Structure 1
Amino acid sequence: MIIDPKTFERFNAVLTGVIVPRPIAFVSTVSPDGEVNLAPYSFFNAVSYDTVVFSSARNVDNKSKDTLRNIEETGEFVVNIVVDPIAEAMNATSAEFPEGVDEFEIARLSHAPSQIVKPPRVAESPVNIECKLDQVVQIGSGDHEHGLVIGKIVLLHIRDDVIDGHRIDQAKLMATGRMAGNMYCRTNDRYEMVRPVFDPEKTQVG
Structure 2
Amino acid sequence: MFFEPGHHLEQGLPHNPFKGCVLPRPIAWISSQSAAGVCNLAPFSYFNAFSDEPPIIGVGFSPDGREEGIKDSLRNILETGEFVFNLVSWEQRTAMNESSKPVPFDQDEFEAAGLEKLPSKLVTPPRVKGAPVHFECRLFKSLDLPANAAGQHSTMVLGEVVGIHIDESCLTDGLVDATKMRPLARLGYQDYAVINEVFQLVRPKAG
TM-score, normalised relative to structure 2: 0.90
2:61 match: 56
Equivalent in 176, 181, 195 of residue 168 of structure 1 = 176
**Deviation (angstroms), 1:129:** 0.3
1:104 match: 110
- Tell me how far apart the structure 1 counterparts of residues 79 and 174 of structure 2 sit (CA, whole Å): 35
Equivalent in 35, 40, 44 of residue 38 of structure 2 = 35
Equivalent in 197, 200, 204 of residue 205 of structure 2 = 197
Instruction: Read off the aligned partner of 2:95 and give its amino acid letter.
Output: A
Instruction: Read off the aligned partner of 1:122 and give its amino acid letter.
Output: V
**Deviation (angstroms), 1:21:** 0.7
Deviates more, 1:5-14 or 1:169-178: 5-14
The runs of at least 4 aligned residues of structure 1 exceeding 4 Å deviation read 9-12
Task: Trace 1:12-161 onto structure 2 (pairs within 5 A).
Answer: 13-49=16-52, 50-60=55-65, 61=67, 63-142=69-148, 143=150, 145-161=153-169
SS in 1 for 2:122: coil
Residue pair 2:8, 2:16 contacting (<8 A) in 1 also: no
**Deviation (angstroms), 1:170:** 1.3
Instruction: Read off the aligned partner of 2:157 and give its amino acid letter.
Output: V
- Tell me how far apart the structure 1 counterparts of residues 3 and 205 of structure 2 sit (CA, whole Å): 38
- Tell me how far apart the structure 2 counterparts of residues 114 and 191 of structure 1 sit (CA, whole Å): 33
**Deviation (angstroms), 1:12:** 7.2
Distance 1:11 1:192, change over 3 A: farther
Residue pair 1:13, 1:180 contacting (<8 A) in 2 also: no
Post-superposition CA distance 1:101-150 (Å, at most 9, x none): 22211221110000000000001101000000011100021445111010
- Tell me how far apart the structure 1 counterparts of residues 74 and 27 of structure 2 sit (CA, whole Å): 16
**Deviation (angstroms), 1:7:** 3.3
| Paired residues, number | 199
- Tell me how far apart the structure 1 counterparts of residues 126 and 68 of structure 2 sit (CA, whole Å): 27
Instruction: Read off the aligned partner of 1:193 and give its amino acid letter.
Output: L
Residue pair 1:5, 1:11 contacting (<8 A) in 2 also: no
Distance 1:62 1:12, change over 3 A: farther
- Tell me how far apart the structure 2 counterparts of residues 123 and 30 of structure 1 sit (CA, whole Å): 16
Task: Trace 1:175-186 onto structure 2 (pairs within 5 A).
Answer: 175-186=183-194
**Deviation (angstroms), 1:62:** 6.3
- Tell me how far apart the structure 1 counterparts of residues 156 and 138 of structure 2 sit (CA, whole Å): 14
**Deviation (angstroms), 1:33:** 0.3
**Deviation (angstroms), 1:59:** 1.8
Distance 1:11 1:68, change over 3 A: farther
SS in 2 for 1:47: strand
Post-superposition CA distance 1:147-201 (Å, at most 9, x none): 10100000000011112464101111111001111111011132222222233xx
